Amino acid sequence: MAYDDGSTFWSLNLHNETTKTNECNRFNYSIGPTEAVLIAFHIGRIISIVCITFGSLGNITLIFAICHTSFYHFPYGLLLLFISTFDIIRLISTAFYYLMQSNTIPLKLSTITIYITLSRYSKIVTNWLKVILAVERLIAVKYWIARRYNVNSNNSKRIHRLRQRKLLLLILILLFCSLISQHPNLLPKRFISTCICPSRLLVINTPNPYLYYLNKAFNEFLFTIISYVIFDNVLPIMILIIFNTILLYELKRLPPTTRSVVAISIILFIGGLLIGRFAIPRASNSISTDNLVIVNKQIEEERLIIWNDLKQRFLNLVNAQEIEKNLQNLTRRTHLAGTDDDRNEAESIARLWREHGLDVTIHPYDVLLSYPSPIQPNIVSILDQNHLPIFQSQGRETMFDEDDKSLPFDNIVRPFLAYTPNGTVQSQKLFYVNYCTTDDFQFIETVIDKNELIGAIVICRYGKIFRGNKIGNAEKYGIVGVILYSDPLNYAPNSTLVGSAYPNSIHMPDMGHQRGSALLLSGDPLTKHYPAKDYMFRDSIDNNPWLPKIVAQQIGYREAREILIRMTGTPVLSNWIGGLNQVKYVYGGLLLNDQSIQISSHNTLEVRRVHNVIGTITGHSEPDRYVLIGAHFDAWNFGALDDGSGIAVNHELVRVFRTLVKSNWKPRRSLMFCAWAAEEYGIVGSVEFVEEYAKILGSRVVSYLNMDVIVEGSQVMFMEMSPLLYDFAIDISKQIKAPYVNETIYEQWVRINNGDHNVGQSFFTLGLSAISDFAGFNQIAGSSNFALIYKNYTNVKGVASYPLYHTQYETFRLVKKFIDHEFQAHQAIAQTIGLLALTLTDIDLLPFNPTRYHQALVNLLDLTISVAPKSINFTSLQIAIDQFKSVADQFNQRIQTTLDKSNPLQLRIVNDQLMQLERAFQNPLGNSIQQADLKHTIYAPSRTNRYNALGFPSITDAIEDRNMTNVQQQISIVTYFIRSAISVLHQPSTIQTV
């Protein structure tokens, strides 16, 4: 990972009673339909009650007729009592429903379960009791006729026994059909997607794998139709009609008076049944995205229960011990990209994911990588006037007794800066340039003659900006070599105290070296914009603009002290002073006693093959829409934090989601798990993948969720995201327990924020940079993406939260002993990323809020105006941003009032608009000639620091260049892309003037 070392509109909280209606509307697990539908629904219920009452009167009339025509020998009374009883239960369930609607009875799992139990089972049992009644009537009439016309008594007894056997058989059939139709493992489409019953509540956490695999042998659609339509509805009604028709035929042999009374009662009974059944208005006749008809509001409530149940099951399945085991296994070996260990790791990941049932593909790329010499270390030397060394750096890090000696330290990668050239440079001039930022170089020009920098070597400390930008800034001034070190002020506070650094803490020891890449591009530098496949033309390595041209090497701060004490010159400003003890920080110049400084580098550039691994769970309804979870598996050495933490959690999420699939859950959209190669070299593997499939990913990716160095501490979570995901992230944070405390992540934020609920300003970063695997998805695919990290909260400015970054000390011991001893922070990260993914894959309407982008644009404009010259005109940009707000508000209002979420076509149209909104900000030509790989006009890194995402980067860079004509041009370009986003949010049926 490239790492910055210096530094409620959409409510998903289903536990908040005051927001239930909005939540369910958003998820299409709706409790509150439109007012017109609700009124029709209540009227239908009232009609249904009246019809049930008429049915009961019909039953009473029939009882009266039976008692006066010698039918009392048969158990009509008992059957009619059962039917009346269950009709009354249905009335009670209706009343119970109204009480929940009015909040007289609280809406929660237990009350909804009671309602479903009363309503569903009373309906099924009543249907089948009526079937039994019809059969009983027919047999009774035949028996009465036989007695009335003196039919053989033996025959009467035979009919009586036949009646008993038929009743017993029907009861057994009823029980069998009910069991079949209610078992959740046999009917995943019906019950997992649209319905729930009390039996499911009992068995849902104990799925039967035999029943699951048995079900796979049948055609699910046919089986669903047989169970849902025939057993529950069509069969009992058809049998009822058939037997009553036969009964009416038999009644012609009865006396006229009796025949009339019985006929009237049966007609009343059947009429009440049919009117009561079909008078209730259905929610919709259209087919939902899971191919079942959503017939009424009860189904929506049941889906809400399923959603809450599914979320809770997911959260319970995430296991901290499993993540710990994953990390311990991953850190037993090194993972340098392009090596045999790297290839073996890719094959191991693919094998593991296939064992979990994922559809796994491996994507190879031949990319340019850089390696240190396995024989000659890169060293920095101080030479005397005779060019003999009086000091040399060791070119390696110190081993400690506490280190795990079972680890393969022989495979440790020597300290080097990837892509810096090999060679030896020497100079008598040495300058200290603080952090080697653009501002630092501009300031030092005021202290010394700029020409003095030509042919010199500079030393600067890590922090604030990307190491590649440090080297690039030095190159512009004619400097021939750069020395980097981790100053104890930033990486080892209290370094003078014994035991204050590793192996006794997380702080950098004096011989620690931060490795890293100096590449000024995301992806392979030889195939810019295109995938590094065997058919692709390669640019020349010579004069490649993305490769550094000057020698550079990092050293430990003990070694830096030996160099700094030999420097001459004027003392630096106070904010340039570091934390080395007994060192006088000066700007520099000629070294003492005609000494000289020398850097010897033995790096090589090689084209090697790397492998991305992609595992997919295909969506059942929108398989062409992708939600991706990704982490890289390469590391400079053992990589316990970067990025063992991300891959360990990725493996756990694969296990958890596959467990859900085995219990018959299947996502609406496709869920992809990604293991990226060669991230450390410059986001190489993921960018090559996005470049190869840019046309597909550019139209189909819903969101990419990145996991890179996800745990640096355990005290507070920080998030980076597109503004569209702001409210979604807030709601998810309210459902995840924070590590080691009895509060949610959101409650933890509020506490740390001194009770202020405006937590986004403190813990959110809107817009993502180009420092990790989300770069390709931000800048090429144009999706709305997300990343997060757990850190230790500190108010000490400038102290790195991750001091041992890219050192050989990133081991399992470091994480277990100092960072997350019970792996609760890892678990919270897994639950957060997983719940984000679960929601994005399963939700009907995407939880993107366009109005949040307006507020982000307003803030960025205010910041840009504050640094721009007064002569710059921002009027056109301001008008576009104001218009964006108006259209975004109209879009949200349209979703709330007119969107039919049971209509899959309408959902698809709106979701596509939400997905395309972020993509509308993409400039296909890039933000500048120098940064053609960065296309997002709202958020992208600046030319001077790839670590941080700037707002309006092309405008900001033009302001920094003091080119006012270009500033005005860039304002017009950004205005155009904001207006493009406005057109995306308009009604899709027309192209409106913006």
Give the H/E segment covering residue 661.
helix 644-662
Best CATH choice for the domain 373-602 from the list 3.30.420.40, 3.30.160.100, 3.50.50.60, 3.50.30.30? 3.50.30.30
CA dist 45 and 508 (Å) reads 72
* pLDDT higher than threshold 60 for residue 783: yes
Q: What is the mean pLDDT of residues 810-821?
A: 97
CA dist 426 and 930 (Å) reads 30
pLDDT tens profile 73-126: 445 455 555 555 665 666 666 666 666 666 667 766 666 667 666 666 666 666
Q: Please report, rounded to a whole number, the percentage of residues in the chain having pLDDT higher than 70.
A: 69
What are the backbone dihedrals phi and psi of residue 742, each rounded to the nearest 5 degrees, phi first?
A: -100, 65
Question: Which is more confident, 292 or 95?
Answer: 95
Give the other-Cβ count within 10 Å of 494's Cβ: 12
Give the other-Cβ count within 10 Å of 273's Cβ: 21
HSE (side-chain half, CA atoms, 13 Å) at 709:
24
CA dist 783 and 332 (Å) reads 35
At 139, is the secondary structure helix, strand, or coil? helix
* pLDDT higher than threshold 70 for residue 994: no
Say which residues have a Cβ less than 8 Å from residue 67's Cβ, sequence separation at least 6: none
183-192, 203-212, 370-379: least confidently modelled range: 183-192
The pLDDT value given to residue 46 = 56
CA dist 282 and 280 (Å) reads 6
* pLDDT higher than threshold 50 for residue 921: yes
The pLDDT value given to residue 901 = 84
Q: What is the length of the chain?
A: 994
Eight-class DSSP state of 411: G
CA dist 958 and 681 (Å) reads 29
39-53, 680-694, 845-859: least confidently modelled range: 39-53
Q: Are strands 389-392 and 604-617 parallel, antiparallel or unpaired?
A: unpaired
Residue 246 near residue 266, CB atoms below 8 Å = no
At 507, is the secondary structure helix, strand, or coil? coil
CA dist 743 and 734 (Å) reads 9
Angle between helices 904-919 and 964-985 in degrees, nearest 10: 180
The pLDDT value given to residue 567 = 96
CA dist 826 and 325 (Å) reads 12
Give the H/E segment covering residue 272.
helix 256-278
* pLDDT higher than threshold 80 for residue 223: no
Question: Which is more confident, 225 or 880?
Answer: 880
365 DSSP β-pair partners: 610
The pLDDT value given to residue 605 = 98
The pLDDT value given to residue 192 = 32
CA dist 22 and 32 (Å) reads 8
Rg for the chain, CA atoms, rounded: 36
CA dist 522 and 773 (Å) reads 9
The pLDDT value given to residue 176 = 46
Give the H/E segment covering residue 20.
helix 20-27
Say which residues have a Cβ less than 8 Å from residue 951's Cβ, sequence separation at least 6: 767, 856, 859, 860, 863, 864, 938, 939
* pLDDT higher than threshold 50 for residue 26: no
Architecture of domain 35-310: Up-down Bundle (1.20)
The per-residue DSSP string of 184-217 comes to TTT-HHHHHHT---HHHHHHTTS--HHHHHHHHT
Cβ contacts of 861-866, under 8 Å, gap ≥ 24: 861/952, 863/951, 864/951, 864/952, 864/955, 864/956, 864/959
The pLDDT value given to residue 405 = 84
The pLDDT value given to residue 786 = 97
Give the other-Cβ count within 10 Å of 135's Cβ: 21
Q: Where are the domain boundaries for CATH 1.20.930.40 in the chain?
A: 853-985
* pLDDT higher than threshold 50 for residue 293: no
What are the backbone dihedrals phi and psi of residue 497, each rounded to the nearest 5 degrees, phi first?
A: -85, 135
* pLDDT higher than threshold 60 for residue 445: yes
pLDDT tens profile 35-79: 444 454 455 455 555 554 554 554 455 445 445 444 444 454 555
pLDDT tens profile 463-482: 999 999 999 999 999 999 99
CA dist 726 and 766 (Å) reads 8
Residue 811 near residue 500, CB atoms below 8 Å = no
> Across the beta sheet with 596-601, what order do the strands follow?
389-392, 379-383, 596-601, 423-427
Give the H/E segment covering residue 140.
helix 122-148
Domain spanning 318-367+622-733+763-843, CATH class: alpha beta
CA dist 802 and 463 (Å) reads 12
Residue of 687, 764, 766 whose CA lies nearest to 934: 687
Best CATH choice for the domain 853-985 from the list 2.40.30.10, 3.30.420.40, 3.40.50.10070, 1.20.930.40? 1.20.930.40
Mean pLDDT taken over the chain: 81
Q: Are strands 429-432 and 457-461 parallel, antiparallel or unpaired?
A: parallel
* pLDDT higher than threshold 70 for residue 889: yes
The pLDDT value given to residue 486 = 97
Eight-class DSSP state of 409: G
* pLDDT higher than threshold 90 for residue 233: no
Give the other-Cβ count within 10 Å of 451's Cβ: 9
Q: Where are the domain boundaries for CATH 1.20.1070 in the chain?
A: 35-310
Eight-class DSSP state of 607: E
* pLDDT higher than threshold 50 for residue 179: no
At 570, is the secondary structure helix, strand, or coil? coil
Q: Is the dihedral of CA 399, 501, 2, 718 positive or negative?
A: positive
What are the backbone dihedrals phi and psi of residue 270, each rounded to the nearest 5 degrees, phi first?
A: -65, -40
The per-residue DSSP string of 812-842 comes to HHHIIIII-TT-HHHHHHHHHHHHHHHHHHH
Give the H/E segment covering residue 157.
helix 153-182
Q: Where are the domain boundaries for CATH 3.50.30.30 in the chain?
A: 373-602
At 595, is the secondary structure helix, strand, or coil? coil
The pLDDT value given to residue 107 = 61
* pLDDT higher than threshold 80 for residue 183: no
Q: What is the mean pLDDT of residues 818-828?
A: 98
**Helix %, strand %, coil % of the chain (to 5):** 50, 15, 40
pLDDT tens profile 943-960: 888 888 889 999 999 999
Peptide bond into 389 cis (omega under 30): no
The pLDDT value given to residue 174 = 44
Peptide bond into 503 cis (omega under 30): yes
When pLDDT is cut at 50, 70 and 90, the band that residue 280 belongs to is very low
Residue ranges of alpha helices (H) inside 756-874 are: 760-763, 775-776, 812-814, 824-842, 850-867
Burial of 216 (0-12, 13-18, 19+ CB in 10 A): exposed
642 DSSP β-pair partners: none
When pLDDT is cut at 50, 70 and 90, the band that residue 242 belongs to is low
Question: How far, in Å, are 231, 245, 268, 601 from residue 274 at the CA level?
Answer: 18, 15, 10, 89
Q: What is the mean pLDDT of residues 268-278?
A: 50
pLDDT tens profile 519-562: 999 999 999 999 999 999 999 999 899 999 999 999 999 999 99
Q: What is the mean pLDDT of residues 368-395?
A: 96
When pLDDT is cut at 50, 70 and 90, the band that residue 879 belongs to is very high
Say which residues have a Cβ less than 8 Å from residue 917's Cβ, sequence separation at least 6: 724, 784, 848, 850, 853, 981, 984, 985
When pLDDT is cut at 50, 70 and 90, the band that residue 231 belongs to is very low
Residue 865 is encoded by which pair of tokens?
């105006």
CA dist 197 and 520 (Å) reads 58
* Diameter of the chain measured on Cα atoms: 138
pLDDT tens profile 417-432: 999 999 999 999 999 9
Question: Which is more confident, 708 or 493?
Answer: 708
Q: Please report, rounded to a whole number, the percentage of residues in the chain having pLDDT higher than 90.
A: 62
24-28, 369-373, 666-670, 738-742: least confidently modelled range: 24-28
pLDDT tens profile 643-664: 999 999 999 999 999 999 998 8
Residue 107 near residue 160, CB atoms below 8 Å = no
CA dist 814 and 817 (Å) reads 6
The pLDDT value given to residue 30 = 32
pLDDT tens profile 324-354: 999 999 999 999 999 999 999 999 999 999 9
Say which residues have a Cβ less than 8 Å from residue 878's Cβ, sequence separation at least 6: 861
The pLDDT value given to residue 140 = 53
At 201, is the secondary structure helix, strand, or coil? helix
Residue ranges of alpha helices (H) inside 318-384 are: 320-330, 340-355
Give the other-Cβ count within 10 Å of 833's Cβ: 26
Burial of 965 (0-12, 13-18, 19+ CB in 10 A): exposed
Residue 172 is encoded by which pair of tokens?
């057994």
User: How far is Cα of residue 6 from the mean position of the Cα atoms in its chain?
Assistant: 27
